[in-house]
Every structure is written in C-alpha cells, then in structure tokens.
Structure 1
Amino acid sequence: MPESTGKSPEQLDRLRRRAAFLRELDEARALRARVAPRRARVKQIRAAMRRATYHH
C-alpha cells in the first residue's frame, strides 16, 4: 500500500527509474574506464586536482 510507505505510485516509479538510470550510468563509466584507461586516469587526476584546489 502506498499509504504505509508515504510515497505515491508516481514517486515510487520515478525512484525506480532514477535507480536504473544511475546503475546504467555507473556501468557506462566502468566500461569507458576499461576501454580507455589512460583517459580515465587523466580524468581522475584532474578531478582530484580540482578537489584539492577548491577545498575550503
């Protein structure tokens, strides 16, 4: 029953679709990292540098 969870069927459907999208996005990132490891490594290094530069 939706009343017991406090979420409407539309919200539950949206959460399910969002979870599936995030899962597929994670799989795509993993595939890209396997296919182009150098590019993925450079991207990780740049992200780390951004975090270090803008750390408050």
Structure 2
Amino acid sequence: MPPTPPRLDPDRRRRRLELLAALADAKAAREHRHPQRLHGARLRELIAARRRLVG
C-alpha cells in the first residue's frame, strides 16, 4: 500500500480550497467573455495530443 501524504492543517486546507475555487471562477469568467479563446485552446490541445500519438 503506498504511503499517504501528510494531511494539511484545517486552516491551510480551507485557504487552499478557497484559492482553487477563486481560480476556477476566474477561469470560467474569462472563458465566458472570450469563447473564441476557449475554442482555440481546445484546438491547440487536440493538435498537440495528435502529434504525441503520431509521433
């Protein structure tokens, strides 16, 4: 059985979750305002994945 990582103290864990939630909200807002950026990012990701598979 692999060792489990040490648990963060509750205050630090709460702050980390708040930060991750804020980052997710900011990303969603940015994607909502600029959907063409999201489309371009997905397209670039698909091209990169195909290159990795092919090459």
* Secondary structure class of the residue paired with 1:53: helix
| Structure 1, unaligned runs of 5 or more | 1-6
Give the TM-score of the pair, scaled to structure 2: 0.65
The residue aligned with 1:48 is 46
User: For this pair of structures, how many residues does the alignment match?
Assistant: 47
Task: Note the C-alpha offset of 1:51.
Answer: 3.6
Distance 1:38 1:14, change over 3 A: same
Distance 1:38 1:16, change over 3 A: same
Give the TM-score of the pair, scaled to structure 1: 0.64
Native 8 Å contact 1:32 1:40 kept in 2: no
| Coordinate RMSD, CA, aligned | 1.9
Q: 1:1-56, aligned counterparts within 5 Å?
A: 11-54=9-52
Report sequence identity in percent: 28
Quick one: distance in 2 between partners of 1:52 and 1:20?
35
Structure 1 segments, 4+ long, off by >6 Å, are: none
